[in-house]
Structures are given as structure tokens and as C-alpha cells.
Structure 1
Amino acid sequence: MIGRLILGASIISRRQLHVISRSETYIKPASPTPLNLKKYDLSYHDRMFPNLYISMILFYSNPQQLPSKTTMPNLLKNSLSKALSKYYPFAGRLRSAGSYVDCNDQGVQFYEARIACTLSEILKRAAAKEEQEGFGHLFPPGSVWANANVSDSCLVVVQLNHFSCGGIAIAVNFTHRTVDGSTLLSFLNYWASLSRNPSDEENLVHLHPHYVYELLPQSCNENVIATQASFPQKHWITMEVVFPNSKIAQLKANQERQDKRDGVVSDQKYTRNELVTALLYRCSVAAATSSNSGVYTNSVLFQTVDMRSLLDPPMPKTTVGNLFVLNHMPTGTMSEIMINSMVRQMRKAKMQLKGIKSMDEIEGVMPLVDKYSKTNHKMYFVSSICKFPFYDVMDFGWGRHVRATVVDAPFVNCFFMADTPSKDGIQVTVNLEEEDMKSFRADSELLAYASFKTES
């Protein structure tokens, strides 16, 4: 009898996460794309990316009453339509095995769903793609980091979720072939601004997109064949860890004392990002070593670097495309993963990128990853949107969101860093293999400065 009750409670709990209803429509640009812009050639670096969706979600707990009679879905749809007039490639379709976008104004998919649970129940969960344990059901089925059909799929897919408590979540998928994280954030900022101020479009010129073909025409080489690749089925664990600013300050003070004891002369002036990145890598490599019976495996840290401000001349922040590179810091011994050593390597690698004239001078992301995979390095990837004014600009007209995150990742050993909603720390979505995650979660050095988010 007790077993039946437990089973019944488990079934009810799972049902609470189910989608009650889901409707679909297509949103097209408010104004047609001019004939001379119908073909959007992708840059060399764009073509190096598989055609996978990047998935991000924004949560709003108590949406404020809209001032006009318009409904929330209509406000989002109308402002999205206006945004697509400027971001016109996003309403098109990939052609020629993904080498260019046919800007045919077919539109983006917009879903509206009703979810049979409260927002608070969802916020307890990690940003994993699983339907039951994570956020997967808040996106259209099978769209989280999924391979998109090259010729038929929308480049952007949106789902507006309504929770039983009145809270909402806006889930968006962008194909990585055409955008990086900075482009995604720029688009969301522009869309939110149009939604918040529908009659103020003329004052949003500073948020308009710029295109690589206008700024770096040599980067659009029609002879470069687009990468065709897929990623494995998920075999890792996704969790979230939070580093409060107070703990990061302790880490900094402890590291500065250690530097003095070690005779480090130069003043590192550690940043929050540097300290957290170095500690994450250090502890994850230590966890992998523990899982491997204490045998160190050659490893490499890949750190994403936005090139927009580093190129000579610099490119606008709203430039569309994959304009980031991977700094790569290989390590072969435990001594090489000391925090001061890792920070020194990160800075040196970034300095070497400053003043580069063209993205064509930089090794592509996928070829670089392929090179390290051939030498059997264990690869770790870290990216960050810390310092982006996320919680200040993503107001669609009903107030600030309470949480925002990229959902999961397409491969193992990934770290995605962002400021906490209250800006009192850094929250990190972590992907590690199960055995490595066990050791990682028990690492005393990590736990001295961070805590894991767990379901209550």
C-alpha cells in the first residue's frame, strides 16, 4: 500500500511538469527584405559551426500589468516581427549545405504553451535539457541543442510558457551556424526594447545589427565548405554551482597570500572571471584524475573570447555572427593547473589576439578542437556572459526577469558562467561525466568558495 502511494506521488510529480497545450504560428518580418539582401553569405567562422540550436530561457515570476489593452503574446509577436526587419537573415532558411542564408522572410516559429506546474518548481531545477529533470519541456520537443535540418528548419524558434501560478518563461533557440552568444544577447536586447517601447523605434538605432560582410568582406569566402557534424547523445550530468562575491573575495585574498609565499613578484590583480575560471578548471581536472585512479590525463582549457573589441579596427558590439575564438591552454601536470599559472596563460593568450586585422588570421574553432582530440587531450570549455547587463535590459514591458540561463551544452566538460540575478556572485552551469561530477562535488577546495544548487 505504501509503495503504491509513493508510486502515485511520483507519477503526480512528473505530471506537474507536463505541457497542457502548445500552439504554433510563424512570425514574419514587419517589412520585406530588399531584393539586394536576399542572399546572406556566411563567414568562414560561421561555416565552421555545426547547425545546432543554442538554447536560452528567461523566467519572469510576476509579470506586471501591461499599460495598454494588448495581450502579452501579441506584444511579443509584434515586437519580434519588427526586430526581424533589422535581423532579416533570422527569418530566412539555410541553403547550399548551410553555406548561406536565403533571406526569404519565411519567418520564425513561435509557440505558446501552458505548463502544469508553478514557476517556483521549475526554478529549483538545473538547466538541463531533460524533459523531466530539466527545462526540456519548456522548449519545442527535441529542440534543445538539437541538429537543425539545413534546408527546412527555422533559424530561430521561440516558446512562450505560461505557468499555473501566473509566471512565464520565454525560451529561444538560435542556430549556432549564424550566431554566437553575443549576437543572441544583442538580438534579445533589441527585441525586448521594441516590446517595452513599441513607439520608440527611432531611438533604438544604437541597437541595430551590423553584418560581417559590410565590415570584413574578405571573411565571406564562398569556396569554404560548411562543417557537417553532430554531437553525441547526452551521457553527462548537469548541475549548477554558485560563487558568492564574498567567497570570490576570499579566494582572491588567499591567492595573493599564496603568491607572496611563492615569491611571485608581479601583481596579478585577479578578476572574478579569472579566479572562477581557473578554479573550475583546476577542480575538474583534479576530479578527472581521481576518477582515473590518480593518473593525470593531458588536458586543455578552451576559453571563449569575443573578438569584436579586440580586432583592429574594433567591430560594433551588435555585429552579427560567430565572432569569438577559443583561447587554448594545454596542461600536462598538476603544477600547471595552479591558479596563478592558469591566469598567466589566459592573459597571455588574450594579449596575442589584440590588434588582429581579420578573423581569417585566427584558427577556426572546430579545426582547433579536432587538433586536440587527435592528441587525446581531455577538453574543457568555459564561456561567460558576466558583466553583460542582462537583468537590466531584458525587460519586455512587464518587469525584470528572475533568472536567465543557457540550457545545457552539446558536449561534456562545459562551464557556462553568468552573474547571479542579484549580481552578488557568479552562477555556473556545469557539465561533467558522472564519476567526475561525484569527485568535483566533493572537492574541498571548490566547496570552500562555492555551493551547489540542489532540488529541495
Structure 2
Amino acid sequence: MASEIKVKVIHKETIKPSSPTPHHLKNTSLSVFDQITSEVYVPLLLFYPISSDEVNNIDKRSLFAEKSNHLKISLSEILTHFYPWAGEFVYNSSISCNDQGAAFVEARVNCPISQILGQPDLVIQKQLVPNDIECRTKSGKGYLLLVQANFFECGGVAIGVSISHKIGDAYTLSKFINSWAAIALDSTTTTDVLPPAQFGAAASLLPPLDFLNSPQPPVEFVHENCVTRTLVFDASNIAALKSKAASATVPNPTRVEVVSALIWKCVMEASRSNLGFVRPSSWCQFVNMRKVLVQHSADDLLGNFFGHFVAKTEESEVDHDVQSLVAKMRKSFEELKVNFANGISGEDVLQLCKELGELIGKVDVDNYCSTSWCRFPFYKANFGWGKPSWMSMPAGAVEIKNIISLMDVRDGNGIQARLSLNAEDMAVVESNRELLTYASLNYEVRHNNSYLNFEDPTIWYPNLWNPTNETLH
């Protein structure tokens, strides 16, 4: 399919805020969470098909121009609220809110949108999201927010958004998308549009640390020959899996817990099969710390505000079931809540990073890192064409081994899970009968061996997108 579908960029421009940022808001400090977050760009795709009635009664050229203009005007307006997103990154200390603007790209796709939705191909998806390198400003400095409006020959549109991880996590991105959509609908009374005071609040709780302001030595990662698969768990299968996973310890497991536990069980079995022996294993789950802190003031903090917990199995534990793995996850999450319910310090953040880095660095342990966008309300984003029929988080240029990403399906009850594993383990996982009882395989993308250099402000956190909103409750 990738050879048949073509995505052609036909226009690029810069969208500036509709009104200048006030002088007293011209600088937004980073928090410690922002500082430790890698300088990667995080993609999101939202698909909006067009109804059959509209298809038969439209002038596509006029429709595309109208939708493009609609997006640009509303984007300009929302940037007055999300003013740091139109600014410039000042290396690892702050955002200069200089109204540089956001990149806006318009593209045409030579197929109906149904062809993408019917066979979701990650190679094509990557072309529907703007590239931060190609959209550099003339001065060579990159935009923090990039938008690509993709218009299909049927009249449907896919909105591709790419943000610098430095300006926000999944929670913040969902706030931006829904606030932008609310403005596009002219919902001036909506509570989704946040006041400017919310930016910088995280830095007041967790001020930036000076030693993180200077570049650190590059971190080198060796990437194996990975295979990426997408698994879809529908609502009925998740309900059955919950019933199977329930125990006296965890009588009401969540969707994220049971899907994560089943995937963890299957990847451990694959590793054991290929190695011929049992290795200790760890499951690192990133968590939205706004749901952990008891202070209500944390609920609307914008930027990056995430932590993680780690559940472990030992070499002596040969057989695992979903129940026991769910219990391990819940126990680790509850410990995180106890430790940080009343607050978290910069020193705590650095200690979490250090511990995770040490764990990931162990060559005799199978480490799996999971991030979830479940329960973030991306499917509510209505720009005037109804709610999206599908959302996706396209992979980066190169996948890192043992990364698991979870997202909602449209009904809000099912889950689509994307796994990146080495080819040998994936071959065992994709034929696992227990897994295929609850999930359907969707598609795959293969990645060649590669050796990368990452310029990163810290050697601890991997290039991971962010925390689950469904805090395992």
C-alpha cells in the first residue's frame, strides 16, 4: 500500500498568535520534569471522514480551502492561550514566548481516507505528520508546534500534530487539541480553554536545576532489528480478561492493568522460549502524576508532569498468570501513591530517573517500558466536522526495543496496543494462542539495525512519550 499512496505537501506557512503575548508572560520557566524530558517530537493523528451526502455535493477545491482556513484561524486564536507553544526553546531552562509561531503544512493524499482507515500503515502515517527538520525556520531554529492538514480525494481530512516534548506531555496535548477544537466550534464559553496563568505553575512547584541547563554527553543506544505490531483489544474481550485477572488482592482491575499484564506475560514467555532459560523481568509504567498528588492545584498543571512505577519478576518465578502480574502492578502503583501523594521534589524526580536508568542498563534483565494515552479525551475533538473516527500515534523514525504504547479505540472501552520487540521475540508473541484469544493482530512495520546518538539533557530517561491518564484505577 505504501507504494500506491502518495502524500504531497503543497503549502507551508507560519501561524502566529492572533494577539501578541503580554510582556509579563514573555518567558516561561521549565520545571524539572521538563528538563529531564528529551528533545523529541511527539506525533498525533486524528482522522475525520466525510459523509456520503457531502461527498456527492461538494466542490473539493473550495472545501479544502475552507477547512484549511478554518484550521489556521482557530490555530492562531488558540496560540494566544497556549502562547509558549508559539515560542522558542532556550536550552533546558525556559521557553522564550516570542510569538515565533507554529508551522502549518497543507498536503494532498491521492486516495480516499477509507483506504488509510481500512489498512492503517505506519509508513504512510508518518508522512501525514509534519517533520520538525523540514519545518525549521529560516534561522535554523525549530518550531515547538507543527500541524499538517492532510486532505484526501474523498474530501476527508486527517490532522497531524507534532509537538516538542519539552512543552508538554499527553495530558497537556489533549488539553491543547480540545481547546483548539472548542475555539474552532466558536464555543467561547467552554472551560477547555485554559488561562495563561497555568503555564509556569509546574516550575513554581519544581524549579529547574542549574546543572541540567548545560548539554550532557550524548547517550548512545544500540537498536536491534525490531518489529512493530498493533494489537486491538475490543470491549468484550477486555471484559473477559478483567474477569480472568480479578483476584482477592485486586478485585476490580482496570483495562490498562489487564491488557498490560497479558502483554507482559506473553513477552516474558517469548524471551524464555528464545533464550532457553528464565530471566528476571521488569515492567515500567509511566504515570500521570497529576492523578497521584492529592493537591487539587496539580490537576491543571501544563507541561510535563509524570512519574513511573516498576513491577518486577525474579529469576525463580517460572510461571506467571495475569492475576499475579496485575497484583504486582497494583502493588507498585500503590507504593508510588504513598510515596508522592503529598508532593514530589526535584531530588525525588532525579532519584526516579537514576533508578530507572540503572534498571534499563542491566543486561541480564528483560525491561519493558509502557506508556498509555487511555482516557485522554482526544476522541472528543470536534473542529466542526464531527468527532474523529480514529486516532493514532505514529512511531518515530526508529523504534526502540521493548516499548509498549496503549491508546483508546473510538468507543472508549477497547484498547489498541503497539508493541516494538526484537524480531525473534515478536515471532513467538504473534503466535501466542492466549494473546490471540483476546486481541487481534493489525499490522506490522519492520525497522533495520541502527546505531543512534542522542544529545540529551540527562542520561537517565529514554525517549519515551508520556504517562497514562488512567492511573491504574
Q: Give the one of 326, 333, 336 matched to 1:350.
A: 333
Judge conservation of contact 1:210–1:316 (CA < 8 Å) in 2.
no
Aligned pair 1:325/2:307, yes or no?
Answer: yes
Judge conservation of contact 1:94–1:151 (CA < 8 Å) in 2.
no
Q: Which amino acid aligns with 1:280?
A: I
Render the CA deviation track for 1:304-332: whole Å, top value 9, x for unaligned: 11111321313454421111111111222
Aligned partner of 1:5 in structure 2 is none
- Aligned equivalents of 2:136 and 2:192: distance in 1? 34
Structure 1's unaligned 5+ residue stretches are: 1-12, 260-264
Aligned pair 1:84/2:43, yes or no?
Answer: no
Aligned pair 1:243/2:237, yes or no?
Answer: no
Render the CA deviation track for 1:192-247: whole Å, top value 9, x for unaligned: 111112xx324446644653633551412241415755666684222211112212
Render the CA deviation track for 1:409-442: whole Å, top value 9, x for unaligned: 5522122222211335211122222111111101
Aligned partner of 1:6 in structure 2 is none
- Aligned equivalents of 1:40 and 1:232: distance in 2? 35
Judge conservation of contact 1:113–1:159 (CA < 8 Å) in 2.
yes
Aligned pair 1:196/2:182, yes or no?
Answer: no
Aligned partner of 1:219 in structure 2 is 206
Following superposition, the deviation at residue 279 of structure 1 comes to 0.7
Aligned pair 1:74/2:74, yes or no?
Answer: no
Aligned pair 1:309/2:291, yes or no?
Answer: yes
Q: Give the one of 91, 99, 109 matched to 2:93.
A: 99
Q: Which amino acid aligns with 1:286?
A: E
- Aligned equivalents of 2:209 and 2:44: distance in 1? 31
Q: Which amino acid aligns with 1:107?
A: G
Q: Which amino acid aligns with 2:390?
A: R
**SS of alignment partner, residue 291 of structure 2:** coil
1:204–1:71: structure 2 CA closer, same or farther, 3 Å change rule?
A: farther
Which of 242-251 and 224-233 deviates more? 224-233
- Aligned equivalents of 2:129 and 2:223: distance in 1? 18
1:153–1:406: structure 2 CA closer, same or farther, 3 Å change rule?
A: same
Q: Give the one of 338, 341, 360 matched to 1:373.
A: 360
Aligned pair 1:34/2:16, yes or no?
Answer: no
Following superposition, the deviation at residue 380 of structure 1 comes to 1.1
Aligned partner of 1:122 in structure 2 is 116
Q: Which amino acid aligns with 1:374?
A: G
Identity of aligned residues (%): 31
- Aligned equivalents of 2:196 and 2:224: distance in 1? 34
Following superposition, the deviation at residue 386 of structure 1 comes to 2.2
Which of 354-363 and 401-410 deviates more? 354-363
Aligned pair 1:271/2:254, yes or no?
Answer: yes
Judge conservation of contact 2:18–2:79 (CA < 8 Å) in 1.
yes
**SS of alignment partner, residue 391 of structure 2:** strand
Alignment of 1:279-428 (within 5 A): 279-292=262-275, 294-333=276-315, 334-335=317-318, 337-354=320-337, 355-360=341-346, 362-364=348-350, 366-376=353-363, 377-391=365-379, 393-408=380-395, 410-428=399-417
Cα RMSD (Å) of the superposition? 3.1
Aligned pair 1:20/2:2, yes or no?
Answer: no
Q: Which amino acid aligns with 1:387?
A: R
Aligned partner of 1:254 in structure 2 is 244
Q: Which amino acid aligns with 2:231?
A: V
Count of equivalent residues: 425
- Aligned equivalents of 2:437 and 2:308: distance in 1? 29
